[in-house]
A and B are shown apart, each in its own frame.
With several copies, the nearest count.
Chain A
């Protein structure tokens, strides 16, 4: 089905990377769309956890915030926020942590704190929230971000959440046993860390060229010799995703 947008491709590609037995720590926006798309398509038993304390949620519309009532209403149980971060995240119960990024570098380090200097930032971003410990304690991290030279940069201004560190060895140095960024999903391609932990393009979305990816990346991006071609979203995938978005728009009073 070829009438999909690049955003839809990104969300569908992220959903496909999730499995029935995953326990996902879900952020708002594209990660939430991807996780719920997986749940309503190929992974009906996937466990979705939101940092607001809701465990095993099955929302029918996408939440606007990580604490929408829908999440609690459809959850198996709702725990306190200290318990969520202590027993469930730091306790090692999360298989996939989903993170967004304002900036990301070649080693999957993420900035969501400031553009410019910390003391007098050019742009003050929301900050880390749950991300620093999602990055260290989820078995794997999936990053989802739009692909542009603004986002994919040579040096990020601030490491909010550790990928593999600025030199690629940060996780080992910090004694972390978790895998770290295992997959970066953009609107152009999929990237995975190579043996030295530097991200490599492993799959190009339909119609995307290697030149386009290079032009949209702020460093000299590695592309594996024969990158895969991401399968086009199926009719079922697109229908389910659009249905989710439509239900969400109705529930949230449309665009503001």
Chain B
């Protein structure tokens, strides 16, 4: 683990063409890191995220993505992700390949990746047309009873990027609240970058069973207070629901979107 600036962490660990998982299930979404990818003009990324959310709407609209692996692509509680829709429906700013799963499958696929298994099994995908459109959904037979079970390939990103509450000086990271697939995305990936609200002397995990990622599982930690905004960080900030609603109008129009990215991302400072 190295303590780096966000700029250096992204420059060193996220490359053009990489398969990137930037997770955070509504909570702890690594927006600041996403913006840094846009600032550094990453291209041809395969973006993995259960819920693309605004963060991938921005990356897709900014032309960073070649492919999206996902299970629910909306603006939670608001409606569509207009940049995602524009890419899928009209190929703007470029066409995007999609690989679509259910949440159950993606969550288990991350867990399988973390466990070194090549596939995840699930009791799922019953009677859904997804099976016909996604060749990465197959079936295996239980060798004891003959029962048919769905199988998907494990997720093994090149790099996972997450936001978390805090790290100690050894880079051990505490994650608390809605922990999502934060741990699984890091442990399934070849490299891991974590932005945190702060680095502290004592991690102060409240329970022996708190969700902690040891520093030796992480490549870079960058201190980025508020790095999850407009998502939130349990114990540090609240979700900016008003921004999620405002994004609908910003993102509906290509020009408004591009202006927003210029003003808020490209002209911004790298933390």
Instruction: List residues of A whose CB falls within 8 A of some B CB.
Output: 21, 23, 28-29, 47, 51-56, 63-69, 71-73, 75-82, 84-87, 89-93, 109, 113, 118-133, 135-137, 158-162, 165, 170-171, 173-176, 251-256
Q: A86-B104, A113-B129 given; name 17 further pairs at CB < 8 Å.
A: A63-B77, A65-B76, A72-B178, A73-B208, A76-B212, A76-B214, A78-B177, A81-B25, A90-B117, A124-B88, A128-B100, A171-B126, A171-B127, A252-B241, A252-B245, A253-B242, A256-B78
Residues of A within 8 A of B115 (CB): 86-87, 90-91
Instruction: Name the distance in Å between B85's Cβ and chain A's nearest Cβ.
Output: 5
Residues of B within 8 A of A160 (CB): 128-130
A256 in contact with B242 (CB, 8 Å): yes
A64 in contact with B128 (CB, 8 Å): no
Q: Within residues 71 to 95 of chain B, which ones have a CB less than 8 A from any CB in chain A?
A: 71-74, 76-78, 80-81, 84-85, 88-89
B239 in contact with A69 (CB, 8 Å): yes
**A78-B177, A133-B102 given; A90·B238 CB < 8 A:** no
A90 in contact with B129 (CB, 8 Å): no
B108 within 8 A of A: yes
Instruction: Name the distance in Å between B110's Cβ and chain A's nearest Cβ.
Output: 7
Residues of A within 8 A of B81 (CB): 126
When chains A and B are docked, how far (Å) is the Cα of A77 from the Cα of B205? 9
Residue in A closest to B240 when the chains form the complex, CB atoms: A253
B2 within 8 A of A: no
A82 in contact with B117 (CB, 8 Å): no
Instruction: List, sorted by A's number, 29 A–B pairs whose CB atoms are closer than 8 Å.
Output: A47-B216, A53-B25, A54-B178, A64-B241, A65-B26, A77-B208, A78-B208, A80-B211, A81-B50, A82-B184, A86-B104, A86-B114, A119-B133, A126-B74, A126-B80, A127-B70, A127-B100, A128-B103, A128-B128, A128-B130, A129-B72, A130-B72, A130-B102, A133-B102, A158-B129, A159-B128, A160-B128, A252-B245, A256-B78
Residue of A53, A81, A109 with most chain B CB atoms under a 10 A cut-off: A81
Residues of B within 8 A of A54 (CB): 178
A80 in contact with B104 (CB, 8 Å): no
Residue of A51, A165, A251 with most chain B CB atoms under a 10 A cut-off: A51
Residues of A within 8 A of B181 (CB): 80-82
Instruction: List residues of B whose CB falls within 8 A of some A CB.
Output: 25-27, 50-51, 70-74, 76-78, 80-81, 84-85, 88-89, 100-104, 107-108, 110-111, 114-117, 122-130, 133, 147, 172, 177-181, 183-184, 187, 205, 208-212, 214, 216-217, 232, 234, 238-239, 241-242, 244-246, 248-249
**A71-B178, A159-B127 given; A85·B77 CB < 8 A:** no
Q: Could you say which of A71, A129, A253 contacts B245, with CB atoms under 8 Å apart? A: A253
Q: Could you say which of A55, A133, A176, A256 contacts B103, with CB atoms under 8 Å apart? A: A133
A65 in contact with B77 (CB, 8 Å): yes
Instruction: Name the distance in Å between A184's Cβ and chain B's nearest Cβ.
Output: 18
**A69-B232, A72-B177, A118-B133 given; A82·B111 CB < 8 A:** yes
Residues of B within 8 A of A76 (CB): 172, 212, 214
Residues of A within 8 A of B84 (CB): 124
